[in-house]
Amino acid sequence: MIYDALRESHERQRSLCRKLLRTKAHDQRRVDLFRELRIELAAHEAAEERYLYVPMLMDDRGLNSSRHALHEHHEIDELVEKLREGRPGDRGWMATARALSKQVHHHLREEETKFFQMSGKILSATQKQRLGKKYLADYRSMHRKLAAEAS
């Protein structure tokens, strides 16, 4: 089911955020964890938008919540871009990383407690299974592509 696949990625995102915030200023691990988080977020967002948000946008009941979730993805993307442009050893960089972690945690919590319930009422069991398979295939493909580009 799509929700199981999404929750797996959500847990990876939470874990990566926690690990990133525990790193020291000039630790190579900070750079590596940020790269890993950036790839995870981008692969997840792309597949989720295609295989959960788009079907929700097609139903009037899902329109507002989908727009809100897309807006939050955009805010996360802006924070990621700000971090990419900065230097991981700088204090300001870590303040932005904390803001990113806070935004990611907020988005995931809201999605799991509100959006999943709304979409669960709109999508049929068959749709949830089919969309889950498509999400996973797209997520894996995007993850491989983004990891190769980042190498």
Kindly report, residue by residue over 91-140, the tens digit of the pLDDT.
899 999 999 999 999 999 999 999 999 999 999 999 999 999 999 999 99
Whole-angstrom CA distances from 68 to 4, 7, 14, 80 are: 22, 19, 20, 19
The CATH number given to 2-150 is 1.20.120.520
Pull the structure tokens for residue 30: 């900070």
Kindly report, residue by residue over 48-75, the tens digit of the pLDDT.
999 999 999 999 999 999 999 999 999 9
Whole-model pTM: value is 0.94
